[in-house]
Amino acid sequence: MMSTPVAVTGMGVVCAIAANTDEFAVALRAGRSGVADRPGGGDRQVPRVAADLTEVDLGTAVDALSLPPDRRRAAVRLAGRAPLSLRASTVVALQAWRSAGLTDAPVVAERVGVIVAGHNLTARHTEAVRPRYLDHPRYLPATYARHGLDTDHIGTISQLLGIRGEGYTVGAASASGNMALINAVRLIGAGAVDVCLVIGALTDLSDLERQGYYNLGAMAETAGGAGPFDTARAGFVPGQGAACLVLESTASARRRGRSASAHLIGYGVRLDGNAATDPDEAGEVAAMTTAIADAGITADRVGYVNAHGTGSDLGDRVELTAMERVWANEADRPLVNSTKGLTGHCLCAAGVVEAVAVVVQLRDGFAHPNARLRTPVDTRFRLPTASTPLAAEYALSNGFGFGGFNTSVVFHRRRG
């Protein structure tokens, strides 16, 4: 059992359906989807369906937070002209920092850490600057040497917020978000930090990457298709999104007089020992059962599952079959939804975006609908197609990634 549950004291999010956590809560309850066909395409086969951000205007975003003037200037100076992924990380980190009250009730800088979930975050930025390099190599911006590194997120956020504890990036494909949350829990539990920002960084796919996913058969082709868990599902829709959770030891939150929106109380991680992209039922079962046991509860007490649910034919079917093994008694089965039907698949950021969705739904007492679900692949689970009242005390969130990554985390609605 996890020795020290950690408090969620702050949240931030930007994605295709919301510019902040309050807007996200409204969009989730309404079942608003950001999935749409993208313009353009030309002669290339690259699919044009996505749940994209229109843009991230850093100046407008920070103005909405009413930041102190020196911090606003620092944010614009550090990230105002940075790639989209870093601008999004800056916005959600500032939102979560403010939400956690870390400006008014600070923590010693050396006791604050930051973990960024993601890898290969700026492929589109590289694609965009490459023509300039080919034409005039000397005119390649010197900032590319820094912005091309995923670790630039750590440097920028730590400088902006004065963070001097531990920090690093975590890569586990689509399970990166959950892995970052788990690593933050471990840092806090080990006493290395009291507070840890966990940032799910926006993956800005290049056309090359999009085509690769499409050729693999993993990505949907049009926005008019079925959503996750529908018999007609045809692959995932890429989503642009970033999110941040502030995780904090309960002792630190108490010292600062901060109440928690929820607590993260258990986790499970298992590898399949498999370099391929196909999911493994046994690995998924192991991650879920380990997380539930780590939380010190039994499966029947989990009232809600935020599924990995990407919309892939094999992935959705295997996940539901794995859940049937975890919840063998049909009467005990929880409500299940997939936030990816609304936000698209936010890839490396998915686990953190969906952790915010879980906390919002537990806090506000509703389960959002499964978008574009008409004919469920399995009727033995409750897969709501409209916003549904949710009285669950415990929720589980899954994150599975190419390369055999299986992760689950458990949240408690009211603890301490």
> With 50 as the cut, is the pLDDT of residue 191 above it?
yes
Nearest by Cα to 185 from 99, 92, 126, 250: 250
Q: What is the pLDDT of residue 392?
A: 97
Quick one: residue 311, left, alpha or beta (phi over 0 = left, psi -120 to 50 = alpha)?
A: left
Q: What is the pLDDT of residue 387?
A: 98
For residues 102-136, one letter each, b for 16 or more C-beta atoms within 10 angstroms of the residue's C-beta and e for the rest, the string is beeeebeeebbbbbbbbbbbbbbbbeebeeeeeee
Alpha carbon distance 84, 124 (integer Å)? 9
- Output the CA–CA distances (angstroms, integers) from residue 54 to 70, 88, 133, 385, in the order listed: 27, 12, 27, 27
- Check if the beta carbon of residue 11 is closer than 8 Å to that of residue 356: yes
Q: Who has greater pLDDT, 164 or 143?
A: 164
Mean pLDDT of 339-362: 98
The percentage of residues in the chain with a pLDDT greater than 70, rounded to a whole number, is 96
- CB under 8 Å to 242, separation ≥6 — which residues? 13, 14, 15, 85, 88, 89, 91, 92, 199, 200, 201, 202, 346, 349, 352, 353
Cα 326–Cα 181–Cα 79 angle in degrees, nearest 5? 145
Q: What is the pLDDT of residue 57?
A: 84
- CB under 8 Å to 332, separation ≥6 — which residues? 299, 300
> With 60 as the cut, is the pLDDT of residue 40 above it?
no
Q: What is the pLDDT of residue 162?
A: 97
| Cα 323 to chain centroid, rounded | 21
Nearest by Cα to 235 from 162, 315, 294: 315
- Check if the beta carbon of residue 286 is closer than 8 Å to that of residue 326: no
- Residue 357: CB atoms within 10 Å: 26
pLDDT per residue as tens digits for the range 208-263: 898 899 889 898 887 677 899 999 999 999 999 999 999 999 999 999 999 999 99
| Cα 316 to chain centroid, rounded | 18
> With 80 as the cut, is the pLDDT of residue 6 above it?
yes
Q: What is the pLDDT of residue 207?
A: 87
- Check if the beta carbon of residue 244 is closer than 8 Å to that of residue 12: yes
- Check if the beta carbon of residue 114 is closer than 8 Å to that of residue 154: yes
- Residue 40: CB atoms within 10 Å: 9
pLDDT range class, residue 359, cuts 50, 70, 90: very high
Quick one: residue 161, left, alpha or beta (phi over 0 = left, psi -120 to 50 = alpha)?
A: alpha
> With 50 as the cut, is the pLDDT of residue 42 above it?
no
pLDDT per residue as tens digits for the range 271-318: 999 998 999 999 999 999 999 999 999 999 999 999 999 999 999 999
* Homologous superfamily in CATH for domain 6-262: Thiolase/Chalcone synthase (3.40.47.10)
Report the first-to-last Cα separation within the chain, whole angstroms.
17
Every domain range in the chain assigned CATH 3.40.47.10: 6-262, 263-412
Nearest by Cα to 67 from 38, 42, 26, 102: 102
Indicate the pairing of strand 195-200 with strand 112-117: parallel
Phi then psi for 117, rounded to 5 degrees? -90, 120
| Cα 117 to chain centroid, rounded | 8
pLDDT per residue as tens digits for the range 262-273: 999 999 999 999
- CB under 8 Å to 331, separation ≥6 — which residues? none
Q: What is the pLDDT of residue 401?
A: 97
Look up residue 13 and give its amino acid.
Answer: V
- Quickly name the fold that domain 263-412 has: Peroxisomal Thiolase; Chain A, domain 1 (3.40.47)
pLDDT range class, residue 416, cuts 50, 70, 90: very low
